[in-house]
Chain A
């Protein structure tokens, strides 16, 4: 996460999907590499199988990292920008001011997610879920930041310079 000077056009923080949410993919990749290593140590030569396992392990690592890079969230003083995609991008601006009447800000964490301290934030406005910030680290802290920003957008006269 990056924090910069408070400015309407400056990005307060950039959030990406936590690597903890890709634990399954990393585990599969590491497990496959372990199997490969053990088979080489035991002098089991099956080149086609080894190449397949190696490429699958690499795929799982690349997939995990790719899914991380695919979505990022930029928290600005007045809005949240949700950017999806790497080459072809979808960009969604969600302004805080309309969310002044937000009914819910929820953090959802499963058992493992709670242990590893990552989860998903759902921000629900009057018309349903406005946006969600998925699989991020320290969701409670991020939720507090968003709550503060929404509160500030409701009462701009209270904003400290």
Chain B
């Protein structure tokens, strides 16, 4: 009887091992299909692959995103919209800074500041910046929360590499960094992925592809799923955006939305 029990137990263990392996294999296949740096999204991979996703994504819940009459851009966190192949390439120079308070992914971040009061923590250790007038902080592959309003920047997340005035911190694991309301002089994000950007009424120039040039005067701008370069310089007082977006809305004297 013991001999009968042992083989059965062995076969059961084998069966469960194989089944769990197959399930995990399926999960990884979906992860690989979905891998675009935007994190885990099981449903998105299923939608893209089971529906032979070729339909125009702008028709998908577009009315929920834009109110075409008022140009009011209602930001949705629907991740499927970020996966579209259709992006609007544009360049914007604006005299107002956006308010951001969200999770972002940034390829390279360059921050120039001389605020020595604000505490910066790296891996839960305080970064001592003494006798320095000008500080240049560089980060590679940052994931985390970014907030800026006006001339203050707050950041909390992790990066692969951090450099402060030429002194680099790098690790095989991620390096945690955080600071709150840091006054900066200039701020550049390269290869940034930001879900939404809202710019209050201001002045500037908008160039969309090679087709549209529009001078903004007292217009507000809203962007959905921006990817590209973002530069803010206190000295010049201008914001520069250079990249692509899923949807762009301008509201002011003329209201229009681009998709």
Q: Which chain A residues have a beta carbon within 8 Å of chain B's beta carbons?
A: 24-25, 28, 31-32, 35, 38-39, 42-44, 46, 49, 52-53, 56, 59-60, 63, 67, 90
Contact = CB atoms under 8 A, between A and B. Distances in A.
Nearest to B10: A67
Interface in B15-73: 17-18, 20-21, 24-25, 27-28, 31-32, 35, 37, 40
A46 B25 contact: no
Contacts of A59: 17
B126 interface: no
A122 to B, nearest CB: 12
Given A35-B28, A42-B32, A60 B40 contact: no
B18 A24 contact: yes
A42 B35 contact: yes
A31 B32 contact: no
Contacts, number: 43
A39 B31 contact: yes
Nearest to B32: A42
A41 to B, nearest CB: 10
A46 B40 contact: yes
B13 A32 contact: no
Nearest to A63: B13
A39 B32 contact: yes
Contact of A44 (B13, B20, B21, B31): B31
Contact of B25 (A25, A35, A44, A60): A35
B24 A56 contact: yes
Contacts of A53: 24
A28 B21 contact: yes
Contacts of A67: 10
Contacts of B21: 28, 31-32, 56, 60
B14 interface: yes
A53 B25 CA distance: 10
Given A39-B28, A44-B32, A46-B31, 19 more contacts: A24-B14, A24-B17, A24-B18, A25-B14, A25-B17, A28-B17, A28-B21, A31-B25, A32-B24, A38-B28, A42-B32, A43-B37, A44-B35, A52-B24, A53-B24, A56-B17, A60-B17, A63-B13, A67-B10
